[in-house]
Amino acid sequence: MSGATGGAVTRVPPVDLGRQYAEIRDAARDVFDRLATSGALTLGDELEAFEAEWAAYCGTGGAVGVASGTEALQLALIALGAGPGTEVVTVPHTFIATAEAIVASGASAVFVDVEADSASLDPAALAAALTPRTVAVVPVHLYGRPAAMPAIGEICGRAGVAVLEDASQAHGARLGERRVGALGRAAGFSFYPTKNLGALGDGGAVTSDDPALLATARSLRHHGSAPGDANRHVRDGFSARLDNLQAALLRLKLRRLDGWNDERRRLAMRYRERLAGLPVRPLPAPPDGVDQVHHLFVVELDERDRVLAALRARGVGAAVHYPTPVHLQPVWRERGHREGEFPVAERLAARVLSLPIFPGMTDAEQDHVVDALADAVAS
Ligand SMILES: *Cc1c(COP(=O)(O)O)cnc(C)c1O
């Protein structure tokens, strides 16, 4: 395996991007040389090719490359009609960007709690959160596991509300035969470097089957320009393109995504076996037909912060995703949110711990994590 280290393991990083880069290094250097020399750095052929390949991979009619995952969500929301006076529903147990994109669209964010097992949007709480002002619901496929899309889709379908997937942690995950990105009206992906498919910098994409939505996102990312006429501006837009260079690098990595996700699956299964008997609860595997891609491997446990400190002292790059639910962040408390509103999200925030998992991680590294965790929970 590319990242194998000789000798006893004393340190395990949370992720090691150098091991991924080693697999594409020669091709990446060629790409850099070619594009830097030609000067084709924005809105070029590589971007168009990546968009076609990403749409084909996800099984959607199209994809639009944008500058980040946050902007993918923001632009898709605007294309769906979000703006001042509208509401968009999402979860408090997610990265802040999900809620931030809603605010950036001009809409108000409305939170609903998550389920304890999937850590994703609880369909049972959804209907009560919809109002005549709701234009979209944004479930998050957190940690690489698809949210409860059939139930969410049914509730939203009945209410005439669009579903926008936050797919930033679930590149390649499947629900039956369909991939994440093709499970709602549209999806927003992040290609932040540490995601399952990551650029060497920031990037994102909107996927959808809806040509009008894709055209609006395409216009919004480039100053509100008209199709085929970059000097005609038909709406207020943004400077939010995916760089041609990042698109070219993403094309190289996309060919390896399935293999890398398989490595994550193998490591996750091995964690489950090796953690059995310890007083930690890996988040349960999803039901049959739901395939997850283990962006993170998350366990729930008592005394999380003490165990985290003990792991760090043993060189284990464990982390918490996320220690504070969105509604209890200072910026959201200012909008009137308080403790106790979303008990499941608040309980998870206090109890979850992410163990290192990344393509190229060795069994010896994983064993070091498990040994350190076993010692920490026993002390
Ligand atoms: C990473 C991430 C985002 C934001 O992506 P950026 O590319 O960093 O803007 C949004 N939502 C979730 C769930 C994420 O993990």
Question: Do 239 and 260 sit in the same domain of this protein?
Answer: no
| Nearest atom (ligand 1) to Cα of 192 | 7
pLDDT (tens digit per residue) in 347-356: 999 999 999 9
- At 266, is the pLDDT very low, low, confident or very high (cuts 50, 70, 90)? very high
For residues 268 and 140, membership in a common domain is answered with no
Q: Assign 6 to helix, strand or coil.
A: coil
Quick check: 326 pLDDT over 80?
yes
Residues 226, 275, single domain; the answer is no
Class of residue 161 by CB neighbours under 10 A (exposed 0-12, middle 13-18, buried 19+) = buried
- pLDDT attached to residue 2: 40
CATH code for the domain in which residue 268 is found: 3.90.1150.10
What's the mean pLDDT in 279-288?
95
Q: Are 92 and 331 a contacting pair, CB within 8 Å? A: no
Residue 226 corresponds to which tokens in the numbers above?
């008209």
Domain that holds residue 182: 25-254
Give yes or no for residue 314 having a pLDDT over 70.
yes
Backbone angles phi, psi at 363, to 5 degrees: -60, -35
Mean pLDDT of the chain: 96
Q: Domain end: 254, 272, 307, which one?
A: 254
Domains held by the chain: number: 2
Asked if residue 1 belongs to a domain, the reply is no
One domain for residues 99 and 87: yes
| Phi/psi at 269 (5° precision) | -65, -40
Q: What 3-state class would DSSP assign to 90?
A: strand
Q: Are 260 and 372 members of one domain? A: yes
| Residue 3, pLDDT score | 44
Residue finishing a domain among 235, 254, 273? 254
* Tokens (6 digits) for 23: 């697999």
* CATH number of the domain encompassing residue 131: 3.40.640.10
CA angle 285, 193, 356 (to 5 degrees): 40
348 and 216 together in one domain: no
**Ligand 1 residue neighbourhood (C-beta within 6 Å):** 68-70, 94-95, 97-98, 140, 166, 168-169, 190, 192, 202, 204
14 within a domain of the structure (yes/no): no
- Res 268 pLDDT > 90: yes
Mean predicted confidence (pLDDT) in 39-66 = 97
CA angle 184, 185, 187 (to 5 degrees): 70
Considering the domain boundaries, does residue 58 fall inside one?
Answer: yes
Residue to probe by mutation, ligand 1, list 15, 96, 98, most atoms within 8 Å of CB: 98
